Amino acid sequence: MTDPVVGLVLEGRYRLEERVARGGMSTVYAATDLRLHKTVAVKVMAEHLAHDPTFVDRFTREARAAAMLSHANVVGVSDQGSDQGLVFLVMELVRGRTLRDLLSARGRLTVAEAFAVLEPVLAGLTAAHRAGIVHRDIKPENVLIGVDGVVKVADFGLARAVVGTGQTSQTGGVLIGTVAYLSPEQLERGRADARSDIYAAGIVLYEMLTGQPPYGGDTPLAVAYQHVHHDVPAPSVEVPGLPWQVDELVARTTRRDPAGRPIDAGAFLAELSDVRRDLGIDPVPVPTGQSTAGPGTLRPTNRPTRPRPSDRHPSNPGTEVLGGRNARGGRTSMLPGMGAGPTTDVQGRRPGPARPRPGVPDHIRKRRARFAIAVVLLLAVTAGAIGWWFGEGRWTSTPELVGTEQAAALDLLREAGLDPDCCEEVWSEDVPAGTVLSTEPAAGAEAIRGTDVRLVVSKGKERYTVSPDLVGLPVEQVETELEDLPVQVTRGEDYDDEVPAGHVIRFDPAAGTELKRDQVVTVVVSQGRAPVAVPDVTGQSPEQATTNLESLGFTVERVGDGRSDAVDTGEVMAIDPAPAAGPVPFGSTVRIQVSAGLPLVAVPDVVGKSGDEAAQILQAAGLQVEATRFFGNSVLRQTPAAGEQVERGTSVTILLTFG
């Protein structure tokens, strides 16, 4: 029958060419990207699930989780969307087969081949774990082996980002996964972290070595019980001759207590490398199932040592769902053996009719009857628990978290069966940092267990600080640095004897002070040294005056000598700039003038004058008079002569005689 979806073009870009795989929840098609002209794989959600928010969310989460990863051993996802009623995501197309196909054909692998397959699986998981993503559904169906031998991890549909304590919880109140590979903590508490992927990878390693999972049973509950209550047996029990180091590796990675396992895929890969080195196992090509006999022909080597349960039907190799209800109120599919109708085992087989054995003793028949009654009672209790879960057990309400410290709020959400979406942080002037401000949904809202609750947490008061390291830097550089702070910057000026002009002296408020948004910060810029007052050094010797001025930072320059009545010869008589002019810039030049004696005056001509008149004239000129009288009162001659320059106060001798 022709698939009606083949030939459709989604979003005008992806033309579906052929169906390549089909599962219970989705179908994968080979398609052509009409825009980039390349072949891709398009995964289309099953029509009956496209209206269920839980599965649409899972589908979208797969796209987001895989898109976060860029690794050679992870199937890349490039697009996701919805068109013509189809919900889909676009992936790279891997031509080859799954590990399940390989094991179905080969039975089991050698130790070297198992390591060759597991190493790239762990490499891809390491990238996921380092990105904070837990796969939660590692199994042979999700390990793709390309025809070129490249191994890739696929189907991140159950992947969740870890929060809080590094764990994820069950999805939408429904535990989804493949029971043969679920870790004890997933089965008991619905919790998963990177170590849960390690457990599943250890189970896959066991299956590659022995050809079958470690546990089987008539019901999924029986298989789950063994995971929770029994240690995984050593592979050498099934395949004698396997090295004890391999047994120990399987035991370490499948311990029931998560704390005893490697912390993540990177640690598992390191231990695997150590075992390879200890055993001296050389790398071998990844088995692709191809042989020289032609395509699709496999060499039937390494068959299991004991009868192996038949595989599940290849058309539905999907993920089991333990209980749940979809968005329209209908029941989701349950694990085989939990619903009405004939019972099947975990491999999808329908067992044949029970055949009584003749000759069984009565006490054995009675024991079997009691066991059957116990099973019926157990199934009744299980059915009641499932009914309660589908009714009101999977619903919870959002607890009151406003005002609660963040760590306590996360614990309360997990106790209520909800997943924290943590955390959006906002500033608050009233609520301390780390305290919950609001939640979405709000407190008291009804929600399915596993629903994400978004927390808005206070970052405390919005405060900023100016780094003290900016003091002393050029003001232009400082203002550029402050552009990143939401404060208002102004500039002030001040003198400073140590900080060069144009550099920052200090801030107001001081650097390191907590500032509010838009608060004014003044950058105080140095104008250099403060002006200096010129001291009065008149009357000092030139040497002493120079020393005193230079100690204040002045440059001293001596100009030509002068004459002064007030200053003795050889002392400073004048300063420029004068002290009375006020302070001058630091480092200014000060000029000094030294006295060469009293001022000079020209001797007046008093020859022919009377003695009294001559004395008056000479004294008025600042000169002293010494008179020599010789029979008269008229000046006959004078010494120094008239017009000669002499110091003020010099004595002039006059000779008086008859005129």
Q: Which residues are designated catalytic?
A: 137
| CA atoms of 224 and 213, how far apart (whole Å) | 13
Q: Which residues are CB-neighbours of 116 under 8 A, at least 6 positions away?
A: 283, 284, 285, 286, 287
Ramachandran region, residue 427 (left: φ > 0; alpha: ψ -120 to 50; beta: rest) = beta
- Which helix (H) or strand (E) is 31 found in, with range? strand 26-33
* Whole-angstrom distance, CA of residue 43 vs CA of residue 27: 6
Length of the chain: 659
**Residue 17, phi then psi, degrees to nearest 5:** -100, -50
Give the SS3 label for residue 380.
Answer: helix
Instruction: Characterise 637 by phi-psi region: left (phi > 0), alpha (psi -120 to 50), beta (else).
Output: beta
* Local structure of 422: helix, strand or coil: strand
Question: What is the largest distance, in Å, between two alpha-carbon atoms of the chain?
Answer: 193
Helix (H) or strand (E) holding 101: helix 99-106
Pairing verdict, β 175-177 and 160-161: unpaired
DSSP-assigned letters across all residues of 572-610: EEEEES-GGG--B-TT-EEEEEEB-SSPEEEPP--TTSB
CA distance 78 to 153: 15
Give dist(CA 190, CA 59) in Å, integer: 20
As given in the structure block, the two tokens for residue 424 are 């959006």
Q: Are 71 and 135 in contact (CB under 8 A)?
A: no
Are 444 and 397 spatial neighbours (Cβ–Cβ below 8 Å)?
yes
Closest CA to 178 of 230, 220, 134: 220
- Residue 96: DSSP 8-state: E
Angle at CA of residue 63, ends 59 and 67, nearest 5°: 165
| Eight-class DSSP state of 84 | T
Q: Say how many CA atoms lie within 13 Å of 358 toward its Cβ.
A: 0
Query: Can you tell me the distance from the alpha carbon of 399 to that of 118, in angstroms, rounded to the nearest whole number?
Result: 43
Residue 80 phi, psi (nearest 5): -155, 145
Burial class (CB in 10 A: 0-12, 13-18, 19+), 617: middle
Residues 6+ positions from 568 with CB-CB distance below 8 Å: 539, 595
Identify residue 456 by its one-letter amino acid code: V
Distance of CA 142 to the CA centre of its chain: 30
Is the CA virtual torsion 115, 118, 120, 122 positive or negative? Answer: negative
Question: 388: which residues sit within 8 A by CB, 6+ positions away?
Answer: none
- Number of neighbours of residue 455 by Cβ within 10 angstroms: 24
